[in-house]
Amino acid sequence: MANEATKQLTLGIIGGGHGGLEMLKIFADSDLVKVIYMVDREIKAPGMVQAKALGVKQETDLLAAVKSHRTDFIIEATGSPKVQELIEENRNPATELISAKGSLMFYNVLTESRKKTNKHVFDQISTIGEEISVSTKTVKTALGGITQVALNLEMLAINAAIEAARAGEKGRSFSVVAEAVKGTAEEAKTLLEGIESVNNNNIHMSDQLEELLEELH
């Protein structure tokens, strides 16, 4: 059984306009607060439409909603003094009312905090992305040099094998060297494939980071 510190709080939102919609979005994924209902006279108001999509009860009668639903909090998102007065007169004494000004302040502070967090994450990801980009270019340059060395080894092995064949019995030891060089060339090619795979993964991660940056910006 959850104690008071971890108890899920309940909330009602009055007003299905832009303000109410934003409040609904903020609390929609919260594990600490559950939106029980939203009230608006217009059932097609954006907040009401979203409430229906989220499975939140929609009410069109303000007084009936306030009296029938006992919640920990009510957010008044219309900004109407008359609506706030009606809620004050009819709410349960245990229910706390958050005014439109209070909810707007809360929204602005939360938005500011999100922007700062996004900027911090953006800067961090940008730095990582730049490091990956530089690393990728460095590896790409190194791969070009190693590829050339591997090709040279392969050609050397072929030439050595030809010379060993011409020398016959006397070229047997030379043939052993040729086989060793050939083996080294093949190992180098295998190593190159592994490095290239890692580099391609870095490029893929760099592209993903760029996509994330676009979302945060």
- Architecture field, domain 9-98: 3-Layer(aba) Sandwich (3.40)
Rounded to the nearest 10°, the torsion over CA 129, 134, 140, 141 is 170
pLDDT of residue 203: 72
**Of the candidates 62, 85, 217, 199, the residue with the CA atom closest to the CA atom of residue 144:** 199
pLDDT of residue 2: 46
pLDDT of residue 132: 72
Structure tokens at 74: 């009510």
Q: How do the domains of the chain map onto residue ranges? A: 9-98, 114-216
pLDDT of residue 177: 66
Poorest-pLDDT segment among 1-5, 91-95, 129-133: 1-5
Cα atoms found within 13 Å of the Cα of residue 52, Cβ hemisphere only:
12
Average pLDDT of every residue of the chain = 79
Cα–Cα separations (whole angstroms), residue 46 to 33, 57, 94, 105, 117: 21, 14, 29, 21, 28
pTM value is 0.56
Is the pLDDT at 197 greater than 50? The verdict is: yes
Within 8 A by CB and 6+ apart from 158, the residues are 182
Cβ 13 vs Cβ 45: under 8 Å: no
CATH topology for the 114-216 domain: Helix Hairpins (1.10.287)
Structure tokens at 54: 């989220």
Query: What is the mean pLDDT of the segment spanning 40-57?
Result: 95
Same fold, 9-98 and 114-216: no
pLDDT of residue 212: 66
- CB contact burial 19-30 (16+ within 10 A = b; e otherwise): bbbbbbebbeee
pLDDT of residue 29: 84
Angle of the 18-28 helix axis to the 100-167 helix axis, nearest 10: 50
- Helix or strand run (H / E) with residue 74: strand 73-76
**How far is the C-alpha of 40 from the C-alpha of 63, rounded, in Å?**
11
- The percentage of residues in the chain with a pLDDT greater than 70, rounded to a whole number, is 70
3-class secondary structure, 60: coil
Q: What is the pLDDT of residues 127-178, one digit of tens each?
A: 777 777 777 777 777 666 667 776 776 777 677 667 667 766 665 666 666 6
β partners of residue 98: 75
